[in-house]
Structure 1
Amino acid sequence: MMNDANEWQVALSRFQQESEKLLAKSEECLSHLQMIRNDSDAIDCMQSSLSTLAEKADSLALQGIGEFSRHIQQLIANAENPLQLHDQALAALHDCLTLLAWQLELIDARTGRLQLDETEQTTLIATASLQIPQKNFSYKPQQRLHHSA
């Protein structure tokens, strides 16, 4: 844990800068997939970026960000056919990344808390899971996603 408020704010600022880059990379990969559906490098890159984002969020105890990033990454990783994502699946992933971007901006710099209703995260993950058939991963909508640090 951070020793003082300044140390926390520096760590959070660094996280936000890194997370913006990781999210931008994920969005770039998604745009690439919209043009070239069967690009395994774009799929791998998006998964890697989201996984790294989840790990970095976890290291600062930003649970809501970490869980949401991990859920998105798992939907892609466990897709029955990740190289054949249709327009609705890509749109659902885009909506998830858009919400994630908003959430990253809304983290309270003093507390690290994200004061949002978790309903939108849950709804977007459920929608994405319907659009992306899963081979061995099943999202349970009753699972609670947490937004607090």
Structure 2
Amino acid sequence: MERPPLNSSALQDFLLDAQVLLTKAQECLHHLELIDNDPDACHCLNDSLEALSRRAESLGLLEVAQYASGLQQLLAPPCTHLHLQGAALPAVQACLTLLAWQLELVDPSTGRLNLDTTEQQALLDELALSLGSPLAADSPDVCNLN
């Protein structure tokens, strides 16, 4: 089923806000690279991804919303329990890099991102393994990207 075109102004506002939220998430990750398990950085990373997911979902940008949500849901437990170890941080960085790339590829007039979600799922699974969590594809709490 075809999605209707988005309001161009709302989409442009989202893309600007998404870049700010993504930059904030990347700064939080950098902070975590310097100070393992910093609660403020974990909270910031989690909140940034949650906000990005909610905004994307409200506009019907499902690929972006589901990916950001899946990433946030994987990170929430280790952030809450301060177990976001250094070994998982490169996987988080790879996920954020893909998210940044996808935001660049969102069609600015339609909001569509017509990409295969295989890479998203592979990166979420890699992150889940590095966190000692169930694979993202197997977990009912993490979005279904298939």
Give the drift of 1:10.
0.9
Distance 2:84 2:40 in 1: 14
For the aligned residue pairs, the C-alpha RMSD in angstroms reads 2.3
Partner of 1:101: 100
- AA matched with 1:25: K
TM-score scaled by structure 1?
0.84
Partner of 2:17: 18
TM-score scaled by structure 2?
0.86
Consecutive unaligned residues in structure 2, runs of 5 or more: none
Question: 1:79 touches 1:133 (CA, 8 Å); kept in 2?
Answer: no
Distance 1:97 1:87 in 2: 16
Which aligned runs of 4 or more in structure 1 are off by greater than 4 angstroms?
141-144
SS in 1 for 2:92: helix
Question: 1:30 touches 1:90 (CA, 8 Å); kept in 2?
Answer: yes
- AA matched with 1:58: E
Structure 1 residues 130 and 52: CA distance shift in structure 2, 3 A: same
Partner of 1:77: 76
Consecutive unaligned residues in structure 1, runs of 5 or more: none
Give the drift of 1:133.
2.3
Deviations 1:22-67 (A, max 9, x none): 0000000000000000210000011000000000001100001011
Partner of 1:48: 47
Asked if 1:63 corresponds to 2:62, the answer is: yes
Give the drift of 1:144.
4.5
SS in 2 for 1:17: helix
- The percent of aligned pairs where both chains have the same amino acid is 41
Question: 2:37 touches 2:79 (CA, 8 Å); kept in 1?
Answer: no
SS in 1 for 2:127: helix
Partner of 1:140: 137
Partner of 2:37: 38
Partner of 1:89: 88
Distance 2:65 2:25 in 1: 15
Distance 2:79 2:32 in 1: 16
Structure 1 residues 85 and 78: CA distance shift in structure 2, 3 A: closer
- AA matched with 1:85: L
Distance 1:104 1:141 in 2: 26
Give the drift of 1:78.
1.9
